Amino acid sequence: MGKFDGKVVVMTGAAGGIGKATAKKLAEQGAKLALVDLNLEAVEQVILEIGLDDSRAIALQANVAKEEDVKAYVEATVEKFGRIDGFFNNAGIEGITANVEDYPTDTFDLVFNVNVKGAFLGLKYIVPVMKKQGAGSIVNTASGAGLIGSPGFVGYNSSKHAVIGMTKVVALEAAPFGVRVNVVAPGVINTRMMRQIEKNTVPEDAEGARKAFGAAVPMGRYGEAEEVANVAIFLLSDDASYVSQSIYTVDGGQINQ
């Protein structure tokens, strides 16, 4: 028997590296999955690759920054599966790399719309479902960047600080109803997002940027998406039944060194 047998987990950003790795591991442990992404084809491919049929998975297209889309993916999940036991609030974008005076306002707005408003809307519509059930676990994806300052990343870092603050508030609001809310905060992880950050940081030498980022980690390497997935799944599971309002860094020891 799997730890998630009979449990329903909603995940945003499901077609990304961390989302896909988490979906695969949850499926292996028996979960029913509502996988949400802006790219419907990509999330349908994730379901195909992990081998779930329509009795255990649903692919949903949504722009997480649009309230009607978020309301729709929550309603579709409840209609299909009857409940929501876990929510991996994982969608996010990186923006660009530029000092504050050069950072485009429209890019800042876009990053906050996806990373902050998107996370907020997911909580707004899923928390009431879980409160009504009297149980549930939510994991918000922030970043090690939400705990520090990084020159050139005013949009991304600020948005991830906001996600951590939001988590602390909602965890306290939801705790009396048996609902837990935590944060997973990845460091440099071997995903598409880091490929883009490398290019943004040193356009003429992305590979050099990659080596420098890896060398700055005490463990001397990038993390893998599966390593983040393992922590997210622990927080979603009953193994973390007395864990709420916590921040779990997955960064090879980098942030707190």
Question: DSSP string spanning 109-149?
Answer: HHHHIIIIIHHHHHHHHHHHHHHHHT-EEEEEE--GGGTS-
A 10 A CB-CB count for 101 gives: 6
User: How far apart, in Å, are the Cα atoms of 141 and each of 132, 181, 230?
Assistant: 24, 11, 13
Question: Residue holding tokens 């990343």?
Answer: 153
- Return the active site residues: 156
Q: Which amino acid is at 217?
A: V
CB 224 within 8 A of CB 189: yes
What is d(CA 221, CA 254) in angstroms, rounded to the nearest whole number?
A: 10
User: H helices within 9-117, ranges in order?
Assistant: 17-28, 40-50, 67-81, 105-112
**Residue 185: strand pairing partners:** 249
